[in-house]
Amino acid sequence: MHWRESAKHSLDCATSPLCESLMPVRRWMILRRKLSIVSILRNNTRARFVSLAMKRFLFVVSVALSTLSLAHEGHDHGSEQSSSSQKKAIEELTVEAQSFLSVLPADLQKKAMFDFQDPERENWKFTPQPRKGLPLEDLSAEQQKAAKKLLATILSQQGLLKVNTIQELEKLLGEMENDPVKRNHQAYFTSFFGQPESGKTWGYRYEGHHIAVNVTIIDGKSMIASPTFLGASPAQVREGRMQGTQALAKEENLARALAESLHQRGKAVVYSKESPAEILTAENRVAQQLEPVGVPMNEASAAEVKLLFQLIAEFAHRYRSEVADAQMHAMESLDLKEIRFAWAGSLEMGKAFYYRIQTPKVLIETANSQNNANHIHTVWRDHANDFGRDSLGEHYRNDAH
């Protein structure tokens, strides 16, 4: 089985339609096979050793592969089904946003609403500090239920579980530090940028300590979810009522398994023995391109590439399938030499570490160095399309014509 097939089948088919169809990146493989077959048929020297039956077999295979390729081209670009499913997701999010706003009095609506062009839209944070927007603590039980239903509309089940666990950890921190004001599990804010209406451009943000969900809707047709941040402290609860809880376990365990495998094969995956205390792009509005370090994944084994895409999927599938599939497609369409995996710090479990997955388009960072390596931060950044910048630029250019 090809590595991309293996990676595909490792995903949960219940949440990824890719499991039921050909992967877009298989086109190069199909083309390579077709060219190889044609070359055999055209090479007179070799062709004379090929029986008539074998020629017929190769011809049938070539036709079959051509059919698969054409069929998949339709799936890749056309995607009326894919486009309609994204529009369906946008409509559902729009309806839930309107439903949430409808249960709010005017003063609370005012807290939640910003102009789409307001600089606050890109003023994202993951640290505990004052925020703008509408916090959970200002809401009644009914209004909180509507806010959570809205969040559940954009996240997957596993993404929602991570978010709920992180908020519960914030409550636990308040108990551990005896400071429920600083560690306020109700200090998570809902904000809208522009009016959430069908066919319109608007943004949605859910944010608080260790959580930043940013979604941009453009003309009611496309949806971009970036930057996305999830963190957890403690990364692993070692005692008390939540003992054993590890909100972001797979983000750590899959990455360590990949780093260990590359390291054991003599690859220079560990670029520094010291791990940075924080993700390097921090809370920057624009994620800078970082120095290319670590191992290009065209040097990885099939098993290692499978691990890499399982790790990427863990980040992408925080969101519902329509968003996650688009993010996975962007990563899978890259040549493996364009994807680098790098590790800093110790490979020993329980020790401080940092890793990143670098591509020309997307950067994934994870750092677990603070609080004796028991405080983890993870982020997904899109260099061109954080907050939908690239898509909005295209949108405005098209409008100008």
pLDDT at 125 over 60: yes
User: In angstroms, rounded to a whole number, what is the distance separating the alpha carbons of residues 213 and 208?
Assistant: 9
pLDDT band for position 84 (50/70/90)? confident
pLDDT at 390 over 50: yes
User: What separation in angstroms does the CA of 109 have from each of 100, 103, 125, 148?
Assistant: 10, 9, 22, 16
Place of tokens 């309806």: 95
Q: What pLDDT does residue 24 have?
A: 38
SS3 1: coil
Q: What pLDDT does residue 11 have?
A: 41
Q: What pLDDT does residue 28 have?
A: 39
pLDDT at 80 over 50: no
pLDDT at 295 over 90: yes
- Quote the Cα angle for 372-375-379, to 5°: 140
The mean pLDDT of the chain is 85
Least confidently predicted of 61-75, 78-92, 225-239, 283-297: 61-75
Q: What pLDDT does residue 15 have?
A: 39
Q: What pLDDT does residue 307 have?
A: 99
Report the helix count and the strand count for the chain, using DSSP H and E.
13, 12
Query: Burial letters for 377-387: b for 16+ Cβ neighbours within 10 Å, e otherwise?
Result: bbbbbbbebbb
User: What separation in angstroms does the CA of 274 have from each of 191, 256, 271, 314?
Assistant: 38, 16, 9, 25
Of 122 and 47, the structure prediction assigns the larger pLDDT to: 122
Q: What pLDDT does residue 221 have?
A: 93
Q: What pLDDT does residue 117 have?
A: 98
Q: What pLDDT does residue 399 have?
A: 62
User: In angstroms, rounded to a whole number, what is the distance separating the alpha carbons of residues 60 and 54?
Assistant: 10
Of 39 and 290, the structure prediction assigns the larger pLDDT to: 290
Please state, for a pLDDT cut of 70, what percent of the chain lies above it. 77
Tell me the per-residue pLDDT of 337-369, one tens digit each, with 9 for 90 and over.
Answer: 999 999 999 999 999 999 999 999 999 999 999
Tell me the per-residue pLDDT of 89-119, one tens digit each, with 9 for 90 and over.
Answer: 999 999 999 999 999 999 999 999 999 999 9
Q: What pLDDT does residue 25 have?
A: 38
Tell me the per-residue pLDDT of 4-54, one tens digit each, with 9 for 90 and over.
Answer: 544 444 444 433 433 433 343 344 344 344 334 434 434 443 444 334 444
User: In angstroms, rounded to a whole number, what is the distance separating the alpha carbons of residues 39 and 37?
Assistant: 5
Q: What pLDDT does residue 21 have?
A: 37
Q: What pLDDT does residue 42 have?
A: 40
User: What separation in angstroms does the CA of 42 have from each of 45, 48, 50, 56, 59?
Assistant: 9, 10, 11, 14, 12
pLDDT at 386 over 90: yes
pLDDT at 327 over 80: yes
Q: What pLDDT does residue 393 have?
A: 80
* Neighbour count for residue 47 (Cβ, 10 Å): 12
pLDDT band for position 400 (50/70/90)? low
Tell me the per-residue pLDDT of 162-215, one tens digit each, with 9 for 90 and over.
Answer: 999 999 999 999 999 999 888 999 999 999 999 999 999 999 999 999 999 999
Q: What pLDDT does residue 82 have?
A: 54
pLDDT at 289 over 80: yes
User: Per DSSP, which regions of 142-200 are E strands?
Assistant: 189-193
Tell me the per-residue pLDDT of 241-271, one tens digit each, with 9 for 90 and over.
Answer: 999 999 999 999 999 999 999 999 999 999 9
pLDDT band for position 395 (50/70/90)? low
- Cβ atoms of 189 and 131 within 8 Å: the answer is yes
pLDDT at 74 over 90: no
pLDDT band for position 55 (50/70/90)? very low
pLDDT at 336 over 60: yes
DSSP H stretches of helix in 211-320 = 249-264, 302-316
Q: What pLDDT does residue 73 have?
A: 42
